[in-house]
Amino acid sequence: MTSQENRRFVLTRHMDAGPVEPCVELRREPVRQPGPGDVLTRVLMISVDPANRGWASATPPSYSPGVQVGDTMRAITLDEVLVSNHPDFAPGDIVHGMSGWQDFAVAPGEALTRVSGGGRLSHHISVYGLSGLTAWIGLLEVGQPKAGETVVVSAAAGSVGSLVGQIAKARGCRVIGSAGSDEKCRWLVDELGFDGAVNYRAGPVRPELRKLCPDGIDVYFDNVGGDMLQAALLLSNTHARIVCCGVISRWDESQPNESPKGIPGLIAMKSLKLEGFIVFEHLARRDQITAGLVELVESGKLTVREDIIEGLENAPAALGALFAGENFGKRLVRVAAPTGDRA
Amino acid sequence: MTSQENRRFVLTRHMDAGPVEPCVELRREPVRQPGPGDVLTRVLMISVDPANRGWASATPPSYSPGVQVGDTMRAITLDEVLVSNHPDFAPGDIVHGMSGWQDFAVAPGEALTRVSGGGRLSHHISVYGLSGLTAWIGLLEVGQPKAGETVVVSAAAGSVGSLVGQIAKARGCRVIGSAGSDEKCRWLVDELGFDGAVNYRAGPVRPELRKLCPDGIDVYFDNVGGDMLQAALLLSNTHARIVCCGVISRWDESQPNESPKGIPGLIAMKSLKLEGFIVFEHLARRDQITAGLVELVESGKLTVREDIIEGLENAPAALGALFAGENFGKRLVRVAAPTGDRA
């Protein structure tokens, strides 16, 4: 392996606002050798997530140590084991990793997990990856929807939102989504079975949302903040739960934007719960949650749409465009095909 | 009883902003007679609560039907039974009621509850009244503090805040309060045993709060919103719980004021929980919670300070001045002394 070259993107400045490309630099170096207990992997696919920008920002979220200037840009990956100095792994194994934006990675075996369950390889970085875990935990454990309740999800055509809505439908809820184009809204209703969808770019969102939620909102899964969160707060029923998952529309600013009005008054008066969660804290139950997701996929209740960008060199642009809402379903970058028989 | 006169304050316009006095009118009428199943009571004491204004506003909280123009101004009261047409009550009984701002009231027996436990009469409308229930449920059930954690409470010299801080101390927490004068702050530390207090009128609150909370904040019991909530959000640790109890500083406005910045970003990144609650939904467990409070009072762990205004005619001014922070401890209006032997 020593003769092979590794391409890796290193952070050259913190990624707090604006385009991603100027914040990273592609370096070419020889592939590193694995030490005792280490595993050398080839990166097959890279997950492109809003959180990537947060990790690389000057003010990373408190659960994360942050990516420092000079570090490899951090991202969740799906890898194939090439050389293993760890008893739990053998060449050809497909593993979940945090290899980041590069072709090859060396990691201690403890940092890797073998994928569980079959199906398409890419599903292990979309529906059986962090998007699926995030949707499942955020919706079912934080939001706790009951059959017959109205669930609203924003960025509903995105990787997490599209799963949230479908899981809520499978649990017997009425589901409304918001998305940034009429095409996405049609897809939500016609293909995914949502009960309604609102294009937030077509006009003020609150009157539309009110029409679509005649019985008010019981669970709002928030991926965007801003106007959608404001509308959801105002249309919430007593005891509604608001799952604060991400803040795509608010990341790209050096100052936090204006929050929704009426906080804490609306929370106190309507007895609301607004709650964030850290998906990494739930990894111990990953196999159990994956089994629940596999069941939904295999029974046809969960349609998975992937938005695959080809080539490591396109990772920076793929991340930047995520914040403009370019993606349709789970966005990932395909870096290499596995050498084994898995496809 | 027919010869006696009842004085009652009726709502003449909704109480959305500004002084309370112009919104009510004192009427003098003959005392009503109790019908079948009804109980005639004499109002002994009236609880003066921030929520009173919300109930009488044009936009009452969703858990409340609201006080209509022409209705008796609503308030929680402690009453003595004079005439009972209900098998559960007899003349001389002391009961919790919702008789509002008047001398005498007629209510169905089902709307009354006999006070449980002994002690001072006034304690049944302060520490064993809704203030104590609110502090107990909000702190222990919503906030769920653990021994060793840092608990911050605003309006800490008020009826609920002063109990929240002391209950948290009794549970082994480090407790910091905020209040609107140096005198109140000294009382919190010297008399109630708080670990620190900040006078929010003396300057910017966040740097002071940071000094007093070197390990960050784990539970913030919010009674005020605004700058205190902003500071608490920024100083919160991962997984902190923010109990949204009231919004004294934000009631007195026709428009909701500016919310703290960074919502939902801070909630998502720090995995926070902001939660409101409706104390009336927990009344079924009232006796059990009162027993817990009685134990704290009788063991000397809970000091109760009451701010007693004499005379029904002073109820409107007593409520208005509550929003200026005039009260020190639980504010109540004494309307009459009981005819029985209870004092």
Chain A: closest CA distance from residue B309 (Å): 28
State yes or no: pLDDT of B77 exceeds 60: yes
Best residue of B230, B245, B259 to probe chain A, by most A CBs closer than 10 Å = B259
SS3 content of chain A, % helix, strand, coil (to 5): 30, 25, 40
Q: Do A259 and B261 touch (CB under 8 A)?
A: yes
Q: Do B62 and A269 touch (CB under 8 A)?
A: yes
Q: Do B274 and A264 touch (CB under 8 A)?
A: yes
Q: How confident is the model at residue B252 (pLDDT cuts 50, 70, 90)?
A: very low
Say how many CB pairs under 8 Å bridge A and B.
133
Q: Please spell the DSSP secondary structure of A31-42, one letter per residue.
A: PPPP-TTEEEEE
Q: Do A265 and B250 touch (CB under 8 A)?
A: yes
pLDDT of residue A87: 97
Is A272:A236 a contact under the CB 8 Å cutoff? yes
pLDDT of residue B259: 83
pLDDT of residue B3: 67
Best residue of A63, A160, A241, A269 to probe chain B, by most B CBs closer than 10 Å = A269
pLDDT of residue A253: 44
Of residues B237, B246, B260, nearest to A268 (C-beta) = B246
The segments of chain A whose pLDDT lies below 70 read 1-3, 247-258, 340-343
- Return d(Cα B315, Cα B63) in angstroms, integer: 24
A253-266 residue pLDDT tens: 445 556 888 899 89
pLDDT, average across residues B164-183:
97
Q: Please tell us whether the domain made up of A130-280 is placed in CATH 3.20.80.10.
A: no
- Return d(Cα B138, Cα B135) in angstroms, integer: 5
The residue among B329 and A207 whose pLDDT is bigger is A207
Say how many CA atoms lie within 13 Å of A268 toward its Cβ. Answer: 24
Q: How confident is the model at residue B37 (pLDDT cuts 50, 70, 90)?
A: very high
pLDDT of residue B116: 79
Q: Please spell the DSSP secondary structure of B75-87, one letter per residue.
A: --EEEEEEEE-ST
Say how many CA atoms lie within 13 Å of A65 toward its Cβ. Answer: 5
Best residue of B224, B271, B280 to probe chain A, by most A CBs closer than 10 Å = B271
B300-311 residue pLDDT tens: 999 999 999 999
Best residue of B234, B245, B267, B280 to probe chain A, by most A CBs closer than 10 Å = B267
Task: Find chain A residues with C-beta within 8 A of B222's C-beta.
Answer: 264
Q: How confident is the model at residue B316 (pLDDT cuts 50, 70, 90)?
A: very high
Nearest CA in chain A to B280: A271
Of residues B251, B257, B268, nearest to A244 (C-beta) = B268
**Mean pLDDT (chain B, rounded):** 92
**Omega before B207 cis (within 30°)?**
no
Nearest CA in chain A to B235: A62
- Return d(Cα A100, Cα A6) in angstroms, integer: 12
pLDDT, average across residues B99-125:
93
Chain A contact residues (CB < 8 Å to B):
54, 61-63, 222, 225, 229, 237-238, 242, 244-247, 250, 256-278, 281
pLDDT, average across residues B33-51:
96
State yes or no: pLDDT of B294 exceeds 60: yes
State yes or no: pLDDT of B343 exceeds 70: no
- Return d(Cα B178, Cα B169) in angstroms, integer: 15
Of residues B238, B264, B277, nearest to A274 (C-beta) = B264
- Please state the length of chain B: 343
Best residue of B220, B230, B235, B244 to probe chain A, by most A CBs closer than 10 Å = B244
Greatest extent of chain A over all pairs of C-alpha atoms, in Å: 66
Q: Do A267 and B274 touch (CB under 8 A)?
A: yes
Of residues B61, B62, B259, nearest to A260 (C-beta) = B259
The residue among A74 and B250 whose pLDDT is bigger is A74
- Ordered by start, the domain boundaries in chain A are 5-125+306-334, 130-280
Comparing CA positions, the residue from A336, A298, A310 lying closest to residue A94 is A336
pLDDT of residue A252: 45
* Amino acid present at A296: L
Contacts of residue A273, defined as CB under 8 A and 6 or more positions apart, other chains included, come to: A239, A240, A241, A242, A267, B273, B274, B275, B276
State yes or no: pLDDT of B157 exceeds 90: yes
pLDDT of residue B257: 57
Instruction: Give ipTM to 2 decimals.
Output: 0.89
Contacts of residue B81, defined as CB under 8 A and 6 or more positions apart, other chains included, come to: B39, B40, B41, B89, B90, B91, B92, B93, B94, B95, B112
What CATH superfamily classification does B5-126+305-334 receive? Answer: Medium-chain alcohol dehydrogenases, catalytic domain (3.90.180.10)
Task: Check residue A328 and report its DSSP letter.
Answer: S
Chain B: closest CA distance from residue A29 (Å): 34
Chain A: closest CA distance from residue B4 (Å): 39
Q: Do A274 and B268 touch (CB under 8 A)?
A: no
What CATH superfamily classification does A5-125+306-334 receive? Answer: Medium-chain alcohol dehydrogenases, catalytic domain (3.90.180.10)
Q: Do A271 and B274 touch (CB under 8 A)?
A: no
Q: Do A245 and B268 touch (CB under 8 A)?
A: yes
What is the distance of C-alpha A73 from the center of its chain?
17
> What is the three-state SS of B207-245?
HHHHHHCCCCEEEEEECCCHHHHHHHHHHEEEEEEEEEC
